[in-house]
Structure 1
Amino acid sequence: MIRKKIFNNTKAAFKLKSNAELDRALFLFGLMNRQTFVKIGTFLTKFSLKLHLPVETLIKKTIFEQFCGGVTEEDCKPVTKEMYDENLHSILDYSVEGKETEAEFDAAMEKKLSLIDYAKKSEEITFAMFKPTGIGRFEIWEKVSEKISLTDDEKEEWERVKKRVDSLCNRAYELKVRLYADAEETWMQTAADDLMEEMMRKYNKEEVLIFNTLQCYRWDRLTYLKDLHEKGKAEGFKIGAKIVRGAYMEKENARAKKMGYPTPICENKEATDVNFNSVLSYCLNHLEDISVFIGTHNEVSSYLALQIIEDKGLAIDDDRIWFSQLFGMSDHISYNLARKGYNAVKLVPFGPVRDVVPYLLRRAEENTSVKGQTGRELSLLREERKRRKGDESVKYARE
């Protein structure tokens, strides 16, 4: 029985943060705890960048340095090495979004291929990843998902998208690097699910290298996983499941309401939690066929996973089970898991400051919308600052 609450150890969680970095995190999470400020800040940031006002330095010194590893892979090296010294692995995410042209999609694919190569030669990098709409237009994913007839040009475009995905998965397979596809909005996701299923069928016969992402605020994901599992058993391939709660709730509900179809999203946070934990439990109970990447900032779900691992007598570093959090968030989970010997990994975004802003703004908005998330971050940061002041007082008194 797991009795000790390991995530309360703030000394381990923030060991790598200087006092100045701790104060910056306190300041930023304090701002993100105010929904009105996030909305105003998001508007002003977009407006300033559109007018080419000199705000990049301000962005870089605040939200960028909190949530990103740097501008280039080289910038990220000190960060990933430092974390690896604490047994915490990394995934590098070139977080440039919103591209539209074939040349940009080809360039994005080449960047992702280079990151798979980089992961192969860097022991601290354990996964590579890609975003489907980073290598193909959203509209083409949407049309294929909704089974809308494609023009001849669109058929050629879709073939190029499929070829890019296969190129990434093939490189990952050849180099034995785990690769996952991120999930996006439901109205483009069916095409991504089908394509990633095809990639698992092709490349996951002996071991799990290719993962698809399941957003568990979708009420249909447990059924989807069970069906995929049955296909895998029947056809001789294994499943890679990256499980998350989800990132597009407001957009999904608004579209469903506007277009008059039932929302694909669970009715509330509690239902999402139940669904996530059910998917998590299913994966951990079928490790002979499924490898699971647990992407969560939720302590209850993390403790549930630890309990199942203990109850089943599994090794805490079983290579089929990985825990992950975003860089700059939930360090109390990541570092304490790593410290205990579990497989823990941080997603480390990087890229030019201006190009990464859409990602950063989404992070800020998500922090605001997740009930209790920012408050928990703040309380832990305050606790650590208080602990350090106490240590300084003791040290001063001794001197």
Structure 2
Amino acid sequence: MKKIFEDTQTAFALKSDAELERAYYLFKLIAHEPLVKIGTTLTNFAIKAHLPVEGLIRATVFDHFCGGVSEEDCMPVVERMWAQGVCTVLDYSVEGKDTEDPLDDSLAKNLEILQFVKEKEAMPFAVFKPTGYGRFGLFVKKSRGESLTQSETAEWERVVKRFDTTCKKAYDLGVSLLIDAEESWMQAAADELVEEMMRRYNQKETVVFNTLQMYRWDRMDYFRELHERAVSGGYRIGVKVVRGAYLEKENDRAEEKGYPTPICASKQLTDENFDEAIRYSLDNLETVSVFAGTHNERSSYRLMEWMEADGIAANDPRIWFGQLYGMSDNISFNLARAGYNVAKYLPFGPVRDVMPYLIRRAEENTSVAGQTSRELELLKKERKRRKM
């Protein structure tokens, strides 16, 4: 198969020279872990002290990794990407809270986003996090199978209602809904709730997608069991397949609490798990739709090769590729140019509220082997090409 991810002209077509330079120096900074730690500490201090740093953050890391502060603010980015064939998943990246008002506010915001994206072909998906709709500790207690108090039972019923209201709205509007995965010790309750939403709303089309973090060694067993239940129950399942986002936290907690880690023993085993989930999805497309969320070039090529070998059209609506905005443009835009379905997660929200997300992005790029160096290599190549 032709290697398309080296085409930096296509990858960075939307970036002006100034934006390309900003990206280059941003990733050079992120490449130095001590600087990232100092920078995130100082930024957190400045935000909490209400120092006037929002303009600086907005002009640098925010504008690279986020679309704007509101849905409307994101539209220039959405339209520019859509002109290159790349769709958008608007992601309201404000951290979940433990009190009821912010949880209801999160519901209202997601319903607003669903209505907003309904009329826009460039945005076929919406997304939310389970803990945006319920208290983390409540999900943990449900996941352990512990009895809930009377007040907790009423609280959980409100969580279920928020999920159902959102999924029904997505169903009524014909918008697909990606539901993110979180930490393993709260995920069982989320899985059970998302599966119930699939049972209700995926009878004809794939509306609701659960997220499988394949760095967990138990996820393939869960996937197979979920698929068996869907086949017997007569509904479709949607899976967003990713490697995972909480590796260090998962391992640290397992060690601290003295239980076996839920994380695969090696990066290679995680990669194999990821590939197995993608292969299983392709083998069962009559009941499975898959959103392959990956910044890994090898995984992307493998999915492309399997689709070609199986005679599956590049634009088959049951198969999507996804990356985060501000990362892996060489994958996203070259896939779109080749005719594949591609969507970028586009975070947005008030600058101060989105800072936890931005800090995770910086830390992830620092810790993931090869991610930052690959971005820098591609940016250098494009800078050189433009100067020729």
TM-score strictly above 0.5: yes
Aligned to 1:36: 34
What is the one-letter code of the residue matched to 2:127?
M
Q: Give the Cα–Cα distance (whole angstroms) in 1 for the partners of residues 303 and 244 of structure 2.
A: 18
Aligned to 1:251: 249
Alignment match of 2:169 (pick from 166, 171, 192):
171
Aligned to 1:204: 202
Aligned to 1:266: 264
Aligned to 2:361: 363
Deviation at 1:148, TM superposition (A): 2.0
- Cα-to-partner distance string for 1:54-110 (whole Å, 9 max, x where unaligned): 211111111000000001111111110111111110010111114222111111101
Q: Give the Cα–Cα distance (whole angstroms) in 2 for the partners of residues 126 and 36 of structure 1.
A: 39
TM-score (norm 2): 0.99
Deviation at 1:150, TM superposition (A): 1.4
SS at match of 1:205: coil
Aligned to 1:135: 133
Q: Give the Cα–Cα distance (whole angstroms) in 2 for the partners of residues 50 and 84 of structure 1.
A: 37
Deviation at 1:136, TM superposition (A): 1.1
Structure 1 unaligned blocks of 5 or more: 391-399
Deviation at 1:337, TM superposition (A): 0.5
Alignment match of 1:240 (pick from 223, 238, 241):
238
Q: Give the Cα–Cα distance (whole angstroms) in 2 for the partners of residues 284 and 219 of structure 1.
A: 20
SS at match of 1:233: helix
Is contact 2:96-2:102 (8 Å) kept? no
**Structure 1 segments of 4 or more deviating over 2 A?**
none
1:336 aligns with 2:346: no
Q: Give the Cα–Cα distance (whole angstroms) in 1 for the partners of residues 152 and 215 of structure 2.
A: 31
- Cα-to-partner distance string for 1:121-159 (whole Å, 9 max, x where unaligned): 111101001011111111111111111221111111110
Deviation at 1:352, TM superposition (A): 0.5
Residue range with higher mean Cα deviation, 317-326 or 137-146: 137-146
Q: Give the Cα–Cα distance (whole angstroms) in 1 for the partners of residues 57 and 183 of structure 2.
A: 27
Q: Give the Cα–Cα distance (whole angstroms) in 2 for the partners of residues 140 and 30 of structure 1.
A: 41
Number of residue pairs the alignment of both structures matches: 388
SS at match of 2:354: helix
What is the one-letter code of the residue matched to 1:133?
T
Is contact 2:177-2:208 (8 Å) kept? yes
Q: Give the Cα–Cα distance (whole angstroms) in 1 for the partners of residues 96 and 320 of structure 2.
A: 29
Q: Give the Cα–Cα distance (whole angstroms) in 1 for the partners of residues 180 and 297 of structure 2.
A: 22
Deviation at 1:34, TM superposition (A): 1.3
What is the one-letter code of the residue matched to 1:69?
G
What is the one-letter code of the residue matched to 1:309?
M
Q: For 1:49-64, list aligned pairs within 5 A.
A: 49-64=47-62
Aligned to 1:147: 145
Q: Give the Cα–Cα distance (whole angstroms) in 2 for the partners of residues 75 and 65 of structure 1.
A: 11
What is the one-letter code of the residue matched to 1:23?
E
Q: Give the Cα–Cα distance (whole angstroms) in 1 for the partners of residues 305 and 23 of structure 2.
A: 31
What is the one-letter code of the residue matched to 2:80?
E
Aligned to 1:279: 277
Q: Give the Cα–Cα distance (whole angstroms) in 2 for the partners of residues 369 and 267 of structure 1.
A: 17
Q: Give the Cα–Cα distance (whole angstroms) in 2 for the partners of residues 44 and 187 of structure 1.
A: 31
- Cα-to-partner distance string for 1:20-74 (whole Å, 9 max, x where unaligned): 1001111111111111111111111111111112211111111000000001111
Q: For 1:283-362, list aligned pairs within 5 A.
A: 283-362=281-360
What is the one-letter code of the residue matched to 2:14?
L
Deviation at 1:228, TM superposition (A): 0.5
Is contact 2:328-2:375 (8 Å) kept? yes
Deviation at 1:344, TM superposition (A): 0.5
Residue range with higher mean Cα deviation, 191-200 or 41-50: 41-50
1:372 aligns with 2:370: yes
What is the one-letter code of the residue matched to 1:362?
R
Give aligned-pair identity as a percent: 58
What is the one-letter code of the residue matched to 2:117?
A
1:101 aligns with 2:99: yes
1:181 aligns with 2:192: no
1:92 aligns with 2:90: yes
What is the one-letter code of the residue matched to 1:58?
L
Aligned to 2:21: 23
Aligned to 2:45: 47
What is the one-letter code of the residue matched to 1:245?
R
Alignment match of 2:80 (pick from 79, 82, 85):
82
Q: Give the Cα–Cα distance (whole angstroms) in 2 for the partners of residues 100 and 125 of structure 1.
A: 29
Is contact 2:96-2:133 (8 Å) kept? no
Is contact 2:171-2:201 (8 Å) kept? yes
